[in-house]
């Protein structure tokens, strides 16, 4: 299992929204700039997050995205699995019927344990915790303009 680019961008988006707070409307452009998310990815990511009822999308010139639940009520697992689906480390865990030896296979048990531990770890971290641990506001650095003096 490898986190996709869309998954990484979704996490950045959600941490940024959590940092701003539940229900605060943030423009797509601000999120893209501050969380370093390419604009063309943001719409697809937002659709998935909205479908999972993690954000609300408001259309129009004064539109944007806002976090629907409280940041402490959203786990990193929810965000990751919204984007990539339920985590499975091996096909035999996802579909045991395809493996004729899954009941007696010692490796099957290792995959199941590892999957459960990974999911527990991700589920044990909330957006609120992640947003709190970010060292600066904005969450991600803003590039200096070429006209600024250092």
Task: Read off the pLDDT band of 150 (50, 70, 90).
Answer: very low
The reported pLDDT for the residue numbered 149 is 41
What does the pLDDT average to over 87-98?
71
Cα 69 from chain centre:
14
End-to-end CA distance of the chain: 43
37 pLDDT band, cuts 50/70/90, is: very high
Is residue 75 classed as helix, strand or coil in its secondary structure? strand
pLDDT-derived band at 24 (thresholds 50, 70, 90) equals very high
The pLDDT value recorded for residue 2 is 75
For the whole model, what pTM was predicted?
A: 0.82
The CATH number of domain 5-85+126-133 is 3.40.50.300: no
Q: Is the pLDDT of residue 74 over 90?
A: yes
Backbone angles phi, psi at 56, to 5 degrees: -115, 135
Domain boundaries, the chain: 5-85+126-133
Beta-bridged to residue 49, according to DSSP, are none
Q: Centre a 10 Å sphere on the Cβ of residue 138 and count the other Cβ atoms it contains.
A: 14
């Amino acid at each position: 299992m490898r986190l996709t680019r869309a998954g990484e961008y979704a996490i950045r988006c959600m941490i940024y929204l959590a940092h701003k707070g539940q229900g605060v409307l943030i423009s797509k452009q601000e999120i893209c700039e501050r969380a370093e998310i390419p604009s063309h990815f943001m719409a697809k990511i937002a659709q998935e997050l909205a479908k999972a009822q993690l954000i609300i999308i408001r259309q129009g010139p004064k539109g944007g995205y806002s976090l629907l639940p409280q940041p402490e009520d959203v786990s990193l697992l929810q965000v990751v699995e919204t984007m990539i689906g339920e985590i499975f480390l091996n096909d035999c865990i996802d579909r045991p019927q395809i493996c004729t030896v899954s009941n007696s296979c010692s490796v099957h048990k290792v995959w199941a344990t590892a999957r459960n531990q990974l999911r527990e770890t991700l589920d044990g971290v909330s957006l609120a915790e992640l947003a709190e641990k970010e060292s600066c506001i904005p969450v991600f650095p803003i590039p200096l303009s070429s006209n600024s003096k250092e």
